[in-house]
Chains A and B, each alone.
Chain A
């Protein structure tokens, strides 16, 4: 089942902060975050694993609440380059799983 992302869209001024949420009805093993700019391919940002391990970006942080099956992506001091659509992908099967289920995305627009 597709994870639910919120908000669907957000507009920020440069320097402002944003939080993007991703929630699932299933127990999660890992959550993956990607950013996609218009007309381009998705680009990896971060993986959060059950148990707290993170792999990824040094300017963007995220959290993973295993009990609530939720993840949040924190964008601080936003830059124009942060604009794009952010997708979370969830994995419910754990080690040996090869299927990510992506949310519908959150469109982030950063304006000067």
Chain B
């Protein structure tokens, strides 16, 4: 099993550009989520999904869109990048959310100029 994979590992964007961060898992997990991690702030939930076709907002959803067309994939879209979105982005998955272990991907480091 590859576990949770994320691409790209590193990306530089200019303000106003859009891009999609990819996340995939091969563990047949129903629950997937996106976090951003900023220095001294811990992990903050952006969006999550409890299954294909179902998504919901987390703590910091503004400026991001998600969709879940398959169990395996959960892409995160930045609509119009801003310097405040410079961060490390982690995707995570678990069997059912809630009290289950979350498995994190390796992260995508994003720099918005």
A residues with CB within 8 A of B: 2, 29-30, 32, 34, 40-44, 47, 49, 55, 87, 89, 91, 95-105
Q: Which residues of B contact A30 (CB under 8 A)?
A: 98-99
Cα A108 to Cα B92 in complex, Å, equals: 23
Instruction: Give the contacting residue for A44; candidates B31, B35, B41, B102; CB below 8 A.
Output: B102
Cα A41 to Cα B6 in complex, Å, equals: 11
Chain B residue nearest in CB terms to A97: B98
Q: Determine the interface band of chain B, counting residues with CB < 8 A from chain A.
A: 20 to 34
B residues with CB within 8 A of A: 31, 33, 35, 40-45, 48, 50, 56, 58-59, 90, 97-99, 101-107
CB distance from B42 to the nearest CB of A (A): 4
Cross-chain contact A2 with B42 (CB below 8 angstroms): yes
CB distance from B76 to the nearest CB of A (A): 16
